[in-house]
Amino acid sequence: MEQLLKWDDQLFLFLNSLGQEFWDPMWLLISGSKTWIPLYLFLLFLVFRKTELKIFGLAFLFLLINTVLTDTGSVWLFKEQFQRLRPCHVPELLEKMRLVKESCGGQYGFVSSHASNTFGLAILMGGILKPHYAKATLILILWAAIIAFSRVYLGVHYPLDIICGSLYGALCGYISLIFYRKISSK
């Protein structure tokens, strides 16, 4: 485990060092939660447009449930249990890394809530939209991966925080999608 964490440190420093000041505003915007509100509304509009009102309501309910699972689960099940400091809270790394954000965020970073939230949304909404838009899941996974990477770029998460957060979010999204499909088919 110790060796894995060292590799994670090294990979973090490598990826974080690729950043350029010119690109910082773009990655800050990508990482911003409020940036994506229009996308969330657009996804809901697509579901609304392609389904009947009851199915839309069910999709919205499962989106809320999935968000609670990914967001609170990433904190209660992981961050509070593992208590792994974010890289920007590790003094030895601060000297070697780029911290792009003004604030580092909470003390603990394993797993990334940004990664779990976006991957959960990508799998759930991609699955709901797939019958109408074949490439929805692929596009949303690419979007989630870009947001997840932004967290390493900004200096607030390790790659393992991102990978494990993405897997946790995808699992929550998949489970939510299974239940959504079972209920909506009745």
Domain locations along the chain: 36-184
> Residue ranges of the alpha helices (H) in the chain?
2-17, 24-31, 37-50, 53-73, 80-82, 91-94, 113-129, 136-154, 159-184
From its phi and psi, is residue 105 left (phi > 0), alpha (psi between -120 and 50) or beta?
A: left
pLDDT at 103: 85
* pTM exceeds cut of 0.85: yes
pLDDT tier, 105 (very low <50, low <70, confident <90, very high otherwise): confident
Q: Say if residue 67's pLDDT is above 90.
A: yes
In order of 37, 43, 55, the CA distances from 51 in angstroms are 21, 12, 6
Q: Who contacts 162 (Cβ-Cβ below 8 Å, separation ≥6)?
A: 112, 115, 148, 149, 151, 152
Mean pLDDT of 150-154: 96
pLDDT at 33: 85
- Neighbouring C-alpha atoms within 13 Å toward the C-beta of 144: 31
pLDDT at 185: 87
The residue among 29 and 186 whose pLDDT is bigger is 29
